[in-house]
Amino acid sequence: MLLKAEIIAVGTELILGQIPNTNAQVISQALQEIGIDVYYHICVGDNKERLKEVFQTSFKRSDIIILTGGLGPTEDDLTKETVAEYLNLPLKLDENSLNRMKDYFKKTGRQIANNNYKQALIPEGAIAIENKNGTAPGVLLKYGDKIIVMLPGPPREMEPMLKETVIPYLSKMSTTTIFSRILKFYGIGESDLEERLKDLIDSQTVPTIAPLVGRAGEVTIRLTAKAGSKEEAQKIIRPTEEEIIKRTREYFYGFDNDSVEEIVAKLLIKLNKTISIAESCTGGLLAHKLTNIPGISASFDRGIISYSNRSKHELLNVKNETLENYGAVSEETAKEMAEGIRLSSGTDIGVSVTGIAGPDGGTAEKPVGLVYIGYADSSTVCAQRHIFSGRRIDIKERSANSALHLVRKMLQKLENPSNR
């Protein structure tokens, strides 16, 4: 049975761009895993007439309508009221929801306000979904051949309700699953990657192949197949996945939710290697990314933010002659920074980043976005030159990401010497 779903996110703060609509992404991914196709995402403000107009359209064209937001206690929280009015259903008090709400306020030491009571009202014939992290219950309503779900807006409240109640309920109605596999690449542009895979993309049926731009200079390929089970879908995807990796092996680095910092951390720990970092233009971002990974303390020794020339000389032993002759942003300085942090910390690996993040400070010879990444171990000292574009934060992000990929490649060579 083909089920068409759509998601309505309710909230003026979403329309104004004050907060991102992450709920739609989370819900779409969850529905995909149980084989339900999402056809539309809609965002509407806290306005009864506009919400009713949107819901009317959704009700006519979709089998499953999931609304998030607008279940709070204030006057502009109108989701339940609007849906119930359109369906001509009275709102009834759900005693269990009211009792849970009273317990919630008691535990938090607060007095329940009169306007909170409206949160315990649900359309007649609906089932209340327990909210373990807030006061507003969700709503699950079977109305004819339609399924209508109403969930709170805050993700910490919405996501457990979706995972624990809504998805198990909907999964019983779907006979298929949609499975996607993400392949991640670095060091190749989207158009170049697409050119290498052009024949596969042009002739695609199942699985579908979608090239996507990733984060901070990365590129991804999404392979998607629909089948009777996740295992069957994986089997369909596998030959295409293997062929893509075969053609692009030098750029491929991971799957799905893999991050380069996780891969680097695992390799450092596996190979029993220690690392220290010297950063200039990234201001500690590289160390921040690496220290986000649990267990990295076994390998990460220290990070130094050497922003000034003086600090580069005093803390990293970069020669004054190097700084005077080549400048702080140069291959020579990046190498000496990497070697200096490695020797002063006594680690196996030293990494450095020095560059011009902008928006000012660039010249014709050294433009904004020029970055050198240095690497040093007991047998190698090298540096990479990059020119990055974008805002200051974009250049910092791409610099840190590129440094991690350089370390990844060097560690993979240590792991598999035959691949050198």
Q: For residue 215, what is the domain's CATH number?
A: 3.30.70.2860
Query: What is the predicted pLDDT for the residue at 156?
Result: 95
> What tens-digit pLDDT sequence spans the chain (420 residues)?
578 999 999 999 999 999 999 999 999 999 988 889 999 999 999 999 999 999 999 999 999 999 999 998 888 889 999 999 999 999 999 999 999 888 888 888 888 888 888 999 999 999 999 999 988 999 999 999 999 999 999 999 999 999 999 999 999 888 888 889 999 999 998 899 999 999 999 999 999 999 887 778 899 999 999 898 889 999 999 999 999 999 999 999 999 999 999 999 999 999 999 999 999 999 999 999 999 999 999 999 999 999 999 999 999 999 999 999 999 999 999 999 999 999 999 999 999 999 999 999 999 999 999 999 999 999 999 999 999 999 999 999 999 999 999 999 999 998 887 665
State residue 75's pLDDT score. Answer: 83
- Which secondary structure element, helix H or strand E, spans residue 371, and what is its range? strand 370-376
Same domain for 109 and 194, yes or no, is no
b/e per residue 324-351 (b: at least 16 CB within 10 A): eeeebbbbbbbbbbbbbbbebbebbbbb
Residue 163 CB coordination number (10 Å)? 12
Residues 236 and 95 in one domain: no
Cβ atoms of 219 and 185 within 8 Å: the answer is: yes
> Which of 122, 145, 171 lies at the terminal end of a domain, its last residue?
171
Residues 88 and 167 in one domain: yes
What is the pLDDT, as a whole number, of residue 229? 87
Query: Which single residue is written with the structure tokens 């893999």?
Result: 258
Tell me the CATH number at 382. Answer: 3.90.950.20
CB count in 10 Å sphere of residue 406: 19
Q: Are 8 and 88 found together in one domain? A: yes
Rounded distance between C-alpha atoms, residue 221 and residue 224, angstroms: 10
Which own/partner contact pairs does 73-77 have at CB distance under 8 Å and 24+ positions apart? 73/113, 73/115, 73/116, 73/118, 73/119, 73/135, 73/136, 74/115, 75/115, 76/12, 76/46, 77/46
> Residues 148, 222: one domain?
no
Which of 117, 146, 171 represents a domain boundary (last residue)?
171
Cα torsion for 127, 28, 134, 142, to the nearest 10°? Answer: -10
Same domain, 165 and 192: no
**Hey, CA dihedral for 221, 227, 233, 239, is it positive or negative?**
negative
pLDDT at position 25, please? 95
Verify that 221 and 275 share a domain, yes or no.
Answer: no
Are 282 and 384 contained in the same domain? yes
Q: What is the distance between the alpha carbons of residues 99 and 355, in angstroms, rounded to a whole number?
A: 59
Sort residue 284 into left (φ over 0), alpha (ψ -120 to 50) or beta.
left
Give the side-chain half-sphere CA count within 13 A for 366. Answer: 17
Q: SS3 of 318, please?
A: coil
Per-residue confidence (pLDDT) for residue 1, from 0 to 100: 58
Please check whether residues 267 and 234 belong to one and the same domain: no
Number of domains forming the structure of the chain = 3
* Cα 187-192-193 angle, rounded to 5 deg: 75
Report pLDDT for 418.
64
Question: 3-class SS at 158?
Answer: helix
Supply the pLDDT for residue 230.
87
Question: Is-contact 15 45, C-beta < 8 A?
Answer: yes
Shared domain for 20 and 112, answered yes or no, is yes
Structural domain of 196: 178-255
Give CA–CA dist 15/8, Å, rounded.
12
Same domain, 266 and 194: no
| Residue-by-residue DSSP string for 245-312 | HHHSTTTEEEETT--HHHHHHHHHHHTT--EEEEESTTTTHHHHHHHTSTTGGGTEEEEEE--SHHHH
Phi/psi of residue 307, each to 5°? -75, -40
3-class SS at 331?
Answer: helix
Closest CA to 14 of 50, 63, 62: 50
Identify the domain boundary among 121, 140, 171.
171
Token digits of residue 71: 């279940």
Residue 323 is predicted with a pLDDT of: 98
Q: Which residues pair with 350 in a beta bridge?
A: 276, 376
Alpha-carbon distance 388 to 371, whole Å? 8
265 shares a domain with 245:
no
